[in-house]
Chains A and B, each alone.
Chain A
Amino acid sequence: MFTPAATAVAQKLGLKKGRANLEEFADTLQALATADRNIVAVTSDSRGSGKLAPYGKALPKQIVEVGIAEQNLVGITAGLAACGKKAFGVSPSCFLTARSLEQIKNDICYSNVPGVVIGISSGVSYGALGSTHHSLHDLAVLRAINNLTIIVPADNFETREAIKYAAAAPRPVFVRFGKAAMYDLAPAGATFTTGKALTLREGKDVAFIANGETVVHALLAAENLAAQGISARVLSLHTVKPLDTAAILAAGRECRAVITVEEHMINGGVGEAVASTLLQAGVAPKFKMVGFPDEDTVTGAQADLFRHYGISMEGLTETTQKLLG
């Protein structure tokens, strides 16, 4: 995942590898569902890729299999939620948020039922499988839908807390997971509040505002930049909606530059949301969005694609140096 240089920085920071967020999700959901029979998982021939096979075995009455039918999956999730169930519709994010966008919009969000939509293998987790399986549009389309909380966890802690929140929320929630094993990033005693970014590192020269599987790279870049005398703040902006405008504006006012980092198209992603927040408040630091540009994405594993598009310690270090001049 990392270059040897980045690996050395990770060791210096004492970063420990946890599990894939998806596995943490599945186990958290199973624990919650064991205690609450109203929790139901709905899957589209995806309990294997969703790590829900043990859940299905342990709680066969609390899982609904719909086959490869994402529109039906979201509709059924909405119907279950409308009848008092806490339904989690789980499916690869690339299909779930494109084929079923109207069902997410109408059946869950417009109807305001407490359905949870879980996008798995999101971003470029399916890397080499190509663009049909990349989910680089999901946050853009979902940001445009009213009445939906959108969460992109960066580590196992944020994942556990996001799922606990979703299970208790009386409203629609979308959570997005990749496949890679995640490093533990949240400091001991950290608190997770939906809509409030988690500050992983303080700094005043540049602020990295990132989420999901890109956050660790921002943290490594921050440490790398520190060795060069540049102080970098790192925010895990786990909640895309509602946005933590206070943390974004503070970063823009207190740092000379802001760099957003995301596993998503630049169009309609977190970078544009941050830029809009800053500009509407009249805050204009030096600014750069790092993500996937509007082009036919190159092929490769997730790590290859991250490096290609500058989502790496080295890439973010270079971007910062250029931006600060």
Chain B
Amino acid sequence: MLTDHQLALKAPALRRRMLQLIADAGAGHTGGGLSCLDILNVLYNRVLNITPETVDSPTRDRYVQSKGHCVEALYAVMADRGYFPDSDLNTVCHYKSYYVGHPTRKIKGMEMNTGALGHGLPICIGMALAARQDSAAFRVFTLLGDGELAEGSNWEAAMAAAHYKLDNLVAILDHNTLQITGHTKDVMSNEPLDEKWRAFGWEVRSINGHDYAELTKALTTPHPGKPLIVIANTVKGKGVSFMENVGKWHHGVPSETELATALTELTALEKKLSAA
């Protein structure tokens, strides 16, 4: 298993790859991709019981990216883990490419087609119920966005998951507090999130979503008798100074100059981490 330091060292390269493919495609969700990248780094390198060789195993863990618009971060992490050749990502959003702007099952290792918001959690409940009926030991994970929580289907699902005491289900909230129109609190306030989920009958863990140790502990500690939500407090645009907490980068595509600046920053961070 990779150490925290090794995961941290990997992150700048993953962010560079993600930014590069968004720039090449001329489209993508930059800010949210950067905010959830550390979560995906931990999931795919430490937590999920999946490998490129076991994508068809009935007992593999399932990961459904409900915030499907941030697929570019997932592409970067999955390519790094060997699910598909990195060169495939040169086709993102191109004519006839399967690597479209949201996850599709046509890509090796993608569990479900997602993109419309508020869909991931109900699907994961079905998966978790299937695991229970088969007495299978796999766990089911989904990544939600905080803006996405305005979709009512999440709360239908939140009730059902607690009703069925799905302790094989983990939702991770990429809590970056920004959505396309602005701050979530201004668009449609959803706080206090921890109290809400707790009241629905969930185990709630609030953590720093960029801290590998906290993420790992929150995602691997059992939660008997209850579904788990990990409220991962993150920074939208994390890792690139001029993108952090700036709403316009929700789906902003960096210009050539902006990309060069971002890549330079990330390379410098990587060198600093290497020297540490």
Interface residues of A (CB under 8 A from B): 37, 40, 61-62, 64, 66-67, 69, 71-72, 74-85, 87, 102-103, 106-107, 110-112
A83 — which chain B residues lie within 8 A by C-beta? 58, 62, 126-127, 130-131, 134
* B residues 210-249 in Cβ contact with A at 8 Å: none
A106 to B102, CA, bound (A): 12
Interface residues of B (CB under 8 A from A): 58, 62, 105, 111-116, 118-119, 121-131, 133-134, 152-153, 156-157, 159-160, 163
What is the interface of chain A mostly: helix, strand, loop, or mixed? helix
> Which chain A residue has the least Cβ–Cβ distance from B58?
A84
- Residues A76 and B123 in contact in the complex (CB < 8 Å), given A66-B160, A112-B105: yes
A61 to B130, CA, bound (A): 11
Q: Can you sample 17 A-B contacts with CB below 8 Å? A: A67-B159, A72-B153, A75-B123, A76-B122, A76-B123, A76-B157, A77-B126, A78-B122, A79-B126, A79-B128, A82-B111, A82-B130, A83-B134, A85-B130, A103-B122, A107-B112, A107-B119
Output the least CB separation between A43 and chain B (Å): 12
A67 to B115, CA, bound (A): 25
Do A64 and B123 touch (CB < 8 A)?
no
Do A75 and B130 touch (CB < 8 A)?
no
A67 — which chain B residues lie within 8 A by C-beta? 156, 159-160, 163
Do B133 and A40 touch (CB < 8 A)?
yes
Do B127 and A71 touch (CB < 8 A)?
no
Do B116 and A102 touch (CB < 8 A)?
yes
B58 — which chain A residues lie within 8 A by C-beta? 83-84
> Which chain B residue has the least Cβ–Cβ distance from A80?
B126
B134 — which chain A residues lie within 8 A by C-beta? 83-84
B113 — which chain A residues lie within 8 A by C-beta? 106-107, 110-111
A111 — which chain B residues lie within 8 A by C-beta? 105, 112-113
A158 to B133, CA, bound (A): 31
Interface centre among A40, A81, A82 (most CB of B within 10 A): A82
Contact of B115 (CB < 8 Å), options: A71, A77, A106, A112? A106
A62 to B122, CA, bound (A): 18
B133 — which chain A residues lie within 8 A by C-beta? 37, 40, 61-62, 85
Do A80 and B157 touch (CB < 8 A)?
no
Output the least CB separation between B129 and chain A (Å): 6
Do A79 and B125 touch (CB < 8 A)?
yes
4 tightest Cβ-Cβ pairs between the two chains A and B: A79-B126, A75-B122, A83-B130, A72-B156
Do B116 and A81 touch (CB < 8 A)?
no
Do A80 and B129 touch (CB < 8 A)?
yes
Interface centre among A66, A76, A77 (most CB of B within 10 A): A76
B122 — which chain A residues lie within 8 A by C-beta? 71-72, 74-76, 78-79, 103, 107
Output the least CB separation between B166 and chain A (Å): 11
> Which chain A residue has the least Cβ–Cβ distance from B152?
A71
A106 to B115, CA, bound (A): 9
A40 — which chain B residues lie within 8 A by C-beta? 129, 133
A291 to B33, CA, bound (A): 50
A82 to B123, CA, bound (A): 9
